[in-house]
Structure 1
Amino acid sequence: MAELTGAEPTSAELAVTAERLVTPAGVRAGTVLIADGRVLAVLDPGAVPPPGVPAVDAGDRYVLPGLIDSHVHFRTPGLTHKEDWEHGSRAAAAGGVTTVLDMPNTSPPTLTADEARAKAELIAGRSLVDHRFHIGADPARPEALAELDPAVATSAKIFMAGHHTAPTVFRDPAQLEKAFIAAAQGGVQLVLHAEDGELFALLDEWWGAPGSYADYEARRPRSGGISAVAKVIELVRRHGTKAHILHLSSREEADLVCAARAAGLPVSFEVTGHHLSFTDADTRRLGARTRLSPSIRQQSDQDRLWQALVAGEADTIGSDHAPHTIEEKTRTVQQSPPGLPGVQELAVAVWTGMRRRLPDEHPDVAVARLVRHLSTRPAELFGLRGKGRLAPGADADLVFFAPDDTWMLSARDVRSKCGWSAYEGWTMTGRVVRTLRRGEVVWDADTGTFGSYEGRWIQ
């Protein structure tokens, strides 16, 4: 039986048939009817689409709901020498990502509703993907979060530690608490870079800043994250604020957040593709390419993050797509900025890791996990209506995914403006073959072509 939105099937504009549609009810064969950019119906196997409707057969490729990367830095405005929205959205579409949530640490930073609207105007006509913004929490005006217009943003980024592109850092505990109080009053979801900058400064005064990548992880230790996460949990306990810890990097942090959630606190966390893919041994080998903040940690930490993903303890997977130029990344250890491009590589890198770690797991189970953490859950967490599911009434954001294709990633594949990837030379399992945004093909891997730059600001 077909699931319908209430519209007539004869109004369909496109039919996508596949043996493996990834729906909220599970993986099933069928046909997706699309009209006016939305899923009109999901037909059972054998059902015939209305006559005259253009049809596409995905065969035995998985058809996923469009992926959501809730943590990108597309560098617009002001930092477009290293990335811009056109290139960032190309990388996203080529990676199966149809919706992104962009961070506020641009130049100028996105701290007010007017700055968010100005940013949206800059992006209009330049994006292959739909987008939403995390507003920046301002230490000088933390009380503003209580009156944040949900049409502009429903989430706010807090930096608890500074780095090269963090213009607003909460260093005063009283101001940080005010931000938690105001966010609770305004129903705002906080997203946090939870590291203790003061702790790092204290350690640097004692032993000096990192001088080589051989000791980089040890000089930006796990204690910084553990201390900050503990502070966040205490503030959540006091004020009931919704808090989402970004790029969680250590086993102790994972345990703390899981314990807090078990105690009923509204706290969640993200794992990144790079923390699932690399260890500190890679940083010693690759140097600046995997210099991150928080740093890439040890094998036991990576194992714990994978455990959190498989067990469903982690909520989202983010890329923390933060490109820099090769020139910037080849400066001295102290001057090289943290960050790497990752939105294009995110889904295939995580899929590759899942297939290697759990080779006997049924691919339907693995792909459902990928969809939960890269589509369904971020849509729920950040209130992205119409996103995150392949179901009638949802936006017709679809990804054709070939789970068994193997290929080697090279710099020629990189769509980000920076032109490099930390994954160069990796043999990947899984390939994004085609990406549809609201029914339009915006990436076709077979032809290497993109669609129209008509991605929308989600309000």
Structure 2
Amino acid sequence: MDAVDDLVLRSTRVVTPDGERPADVEVRAGAITAVRAHDAPVPSGVQVVDLGDDVLLPGLVDSHVHINDPGRTEWEGFATATAAAAAGGITTVVDMPLNSIPPTTTTAHLDVKRDTARGRVHTDVGFWGGAVPGNLADLRPLHDAGVFGFKCFLLPSGVDEFPQLAPPEVEAALTELTGFGGMLIVHAEDPGTIGGAPQRSGRRYADFLASRPPAAEDRAIAGLIELARRLGARIHILHLSSASALPLIAAAKSEGVRLTVETCPHFLTLTAEEVPDGATEFKCCPPIREAANQDALWQALADGTIDCVVSDHSPSTIDLKAKDTGDFAAAWGGISSLQLGLPAVWTEARRRGHTLADVARWMSAGPAALAGLPAKGAIAAGYDADFAVLDPDAAFTVDPALLRHRNPITAYAGRTLHGVVRGTWLRGRPIAADGGVTGPPTGRLLTARRP
């Protein structure tokens, strides 16, 4: 082993695809070469990093992050978003094609994104493309340029430069994508159902919740399943909130429909019953629902109906959250949680009897498989040496001012969470420790691997 490039990370608690155990993890030139017995002999001169009883997890993969750069960098940016991700144990993020200007809907726009990000990212970063009216001919070139799939909306996205697809346009996009093996990732809420729901402005969270009923998700997902079944298309459902859609999803999967599903930390850890009126930092679409709904989401994670957990970090400036009025109808919809996903999910997972191996499967292996990142998501030989070091029993109270993302507002403010990220490693090099980045940006820009 070359002592310059090689090291061993040692812990009594290493989370591997086979479960948690004491182990030594050998790293050479940024990749894992072996996972050996704890306290195994180490070649002379090789650095040993002994983590004691802190847990060594595979670096998290967050495939749903709105970085908003360029164009809305006052909302977020590549430097701040990836610093927050690194501080939270995330080593790879995949950037959504909106709310940046320009959106990632052509190869020229993808080039702008990559030029903006280059040299500024603390984690590895990949890119989703967008499917919008009029860009059908751009989908294959974007695919060939290395985007990981294509996002669309079935109803207004919230920004004018990224319009929704009408039903015939969804089918046309899916037909095009299926022709070259592409995947459509969908904000699945039915516009007609929402249009028929009561739409009231004001401070009452109950009114906002009623404006985005579960039936909107259920109806949209049912239609997408039918398209996927008929066309043989691959569809991913973004940020599932409605538990009443789970039987549809489970049935479709059991018959072989090419369908995957994600949910988010806020749906797993926050409930409608606890959202104060006027607390617009809790607004997101689809919305945070009731505790019974949350219980069903957890069960679906446990049985595999839901494939992964990702942040849907969708930040904005504080003024856009309408904190002065507390009007949910006027506020930007999005939860800022990039740095907090791991402790938030672990806090609730352990209360419900789940393990850190479960969390790693949901937040690392699952998103890596979704995006098609074969070197990410596990502590095993041949994978990138990406790690999160977690003290699972330490607790902290969330102070928005101490978070690394750009605007200090989050629905988790004041909550006590378990699980402190002590360090984050990217390809065998430490990039964050104790809530802050430890050096200049060293992340890479990723392109999708094609067969």
| TM-score, normalisation: structure 2 | 0.93
Contact 2:88 2:421 in 1 (8 A): yes
What is the 5 A alignment of 1:164-203? 164-165=158-159, 167-203=161-197
Contact 1:111 1:138 in 2 (8 A): yes
What is the 5 A alignment of 1:349-388? 349-358=344-353, 366-388=355-377
Between the aligned partners of 1:125 and 1:81, the Cα distance in structure 2 is 19
Select 2:401's aligned residue among 412, 417, 420. Answer: 412
Contact 1:89 1:127 in 2 (8 A): yes
Structure 1 gaps of 5+ residues are 1-7
Give identity over the alignment, percent. Answer: 36
Select 1:270's aligned residue among 259, 262, 283. Answer: 262
SS in 1 for 2:175: helix
Aligned to 1:325: 317
SS in 1 for 2:405: coil
The RMSD of aligned alpha carbons is 1.8
Aligned to 1:247: 239
Contact 1:248 1:270 in 2 (8 A): yes
Select 1:211's aligned residue among 185, 202, 219. Answer: 202
Tell me if 1:399 matches 2:388: yes
Between the aligned partners of 2:219 and 2:72, the Cα distance in structure 1 is 31
Select 1:58's aligned residue among 51, 63, 73. Answer: 51
In the TM superposition, what whole-angstrom CA distance separates every residue of 1:218-240 from its partner, at most 9, and x where no partner exists? 11211211111111011101101
In the TM superposition, what whole-angstrom CA distance separates every residue of 1:51-99 from its partner, at most 9, and x where no partner exists? 1122210111110111001100011111111111111111101110000
CA drift at 1:31: 1.5
Structure 2 gaps of 5+ residues are none
In the TM superposition, what whole-angstrom CA distance separates every residue of 1:115-172 from its partner, at most 9, and x where no partner exists? 1122111111111000111100122123543454344213110111214236333342
Aligned to 2:440: 452
Contact 1:283 1:291 in 2 (8 A): no
What is the 5 A alignment of 1:68-147? 68-105=61-98, 106-147=100-141
SS in 1 for 2:109: helix
What is the 5 A alignment of 1:34-53? 34-53=27-46
Aligned to 1:5: none
Between the aligned partners of 2:161 and 2:218, the Cα distance in structure 1 is 23
Between the aligned partners of 1:209 and 1:171, the Cα distance in structure 2 is 25
Moved more, 23-32 or 264-273: 23-32
SS in 1 for 2:377: coil
SS in 2 for 1:402: strand
Aligned to 1:220: 212
Aligned to 2:14: 21
Between the aligned partners of 1:166 and 1:72, the Cα distance in structure 2 is 19
Counterpart amino acid of 2:310? G
In the TM superposition, what whole-angstrom CA distance separates every residue of 1:390-426 from its partner, at most 9, and x where no partner exists? 1122111011111111111112331110112211111
Between the aligned partners of 1:178 and 1:171, the Cα distance in structure 2 is 10
CA drift at 1:215: 1.1
Tell me if 1:338 matches 2:333: yes
The count of corresponding residues between Structure 1 and Structure 2 is 442
Contact 2:275 2:282 in 1 (8 A): yes
Contact 1:11 1:35 in 2 (8 A): no
Contact 2:208 2:329 in 1 (8 A): no
Segments ≥4 residues shifted beyond 4 Å: 8-12
Aligned to 2:228: 236
Moved more, 272-281 or 345-354: 272-281
SS in 2 for 1:60: coil
Contact 2:10 2:39 in 1 (8 A): no
SS in 2 for 1:215: helix
Does the C-alpha gap of structure 1 residues 136 and 449 become closer, same or farther in structure 2, counting only changes over 3 Å?
A: closer
